[in-house]
Structure 1
Amino acid sequence: MTSAAPLPPPVLTLAGALAQRLLPRGPSPGPVRRAAAQTLAVASGVVMFGASARFLAAGTTVDPRAPERAAALVTAGPNRISRNPMYLGMIGLLAAHAVVRDRWAAWLPVAAVAVALDRMQVPLEERALRERFGAEYEAYCAAVPRWLGRPGGSPAAGGAPEAGAAPGSRP
């Protein structure tokens, strides 16, 4: 088994939601804030569960503790817009909860979970997938950003620079 991050991502996300619940809550959400939170939650759930369904249909693992057990490189569905749609969905659910809580402090767990996933979990998975799928995974990384952004966009967004672009240049 690959050395895993300290907490599996679903547990980390639940810890973030618990932290949000323990923080003071703002005023009761009005219809606009409630609709924004619901829209974000539904979109996040669709992305997260859509990606999970694609993994299961491909017969590959969804277990973040053992990325080396990946049997297939899933690049369709939500994985066409983000290399980490399940984690993006988890972060989106926390963001929806922060919108409802209506306090700046409710955004701290969102940021903490996002940074923890980006710095601890995702690099472990990328290393395992790079070893398992080689050039196919490298091509996928060049075409699809780590999180969100224009596919094939800037390296900071997790994509490759455009062909012919000077290092550090922006299109």
Structure 2
Amino acid sequence: MAQRALTGRTQAPKAGRTAVSGCLALASMSMAGASAAQFRRRGTTVEPFHPERASALVITGVNSVSRNPMYVGMAGVLVAHALWRTSWVALIPVAGFVVLIDRAQIAAEETALGQRFGSEYEAYCASTPRWLDRRSLARAVDMLVPSWRPTTA
């Protein structure tokens, strides 16, 4: 709603923009959904306001690409919507979301998870980015195409 309020009415987007923004939204929702499904399979909470209730540290699948794939997915949907609206101004709420989640929610979650899982969580933090970085792309490709890397003899 903030994006629409900032940009007002927009013209109908061109087919290419709709396709790109749709693909980004689908990929983002898939990332968030896959993470939530992993949490449920492991029997741990997806409730963000009670990270102390976590019963398992989920570090595989999309959680090896980012420590916060559900938030990355939410931000990706907002970016897709800004792209679809064809507006740089529509990125302002994305930036606000990322800053708020990063500083308030994720910081609290990391404190709780560090207390709960100790050195295992510290090792996970050292090997997996909070959001996304160059390691994320390589891990995502590894998940999608496991044999893409050339073998060494």
Normalising by the residue count of structure 2, what TM-score does the alignment of the two structures yield? 0.85
Q: In 1, distance between residues paired with 2:20 and 2:53?
A: 38
Q: Find 1:97's aligned residue among 58, 81, 87.
A: 81
Structure 2: any 5+ residue segments left out of the alignment? 137-153
Q: In 1, distance between residues paired with 2:67 and 2:125?
A: 8
Q: In 1, distance between residues paired with 2:71 and 2:17?
A: 23
Aligned to 2:134: 150
Amino acid at match of 1:127: T
| Cα-Cα RMSD | 1.2
Q: In 2, distance between residues paired with 1:45 and 1:140?
A: 23
SS at match of 1:134: helix
Shift of 1:91: 0.3
SS at match of 1:45: helix
**If each structure's helix is expressed as a fraction of its own residues, which one has the higher value?**
2
Aligned to 2:58: 74
CA contact (8 A) 1:95 1:107 kept: yes
Q: In 2, distance between residues paired with 1:21 and 1:60?
A: 35
Q: Spell out the pairing of 1:15-164 with structure 2 (5 A cutoff).
A: 18-23=1-6, 24-151=8-135
Aligned to 1:6: none
Aligned to 1:158: none
- Paired residue total: 135
Shift of 1:27: 2.4
Q: In 2, distance between residues paired with 1:151 and 1:35?
A: 27
Call closer, same or farther: CA 1:60–1:68 in 2, change over 3 Å: same
Which structure carries more relative contact order (alpha carbon 8 Å, separation 6+)?
2
Q: In 2, distance between residues paired with 1:128 and 1:94?
A: 27
Normalising by the residue count of structure 1, what TM-score does the alignment of the two structures yield? 0.76
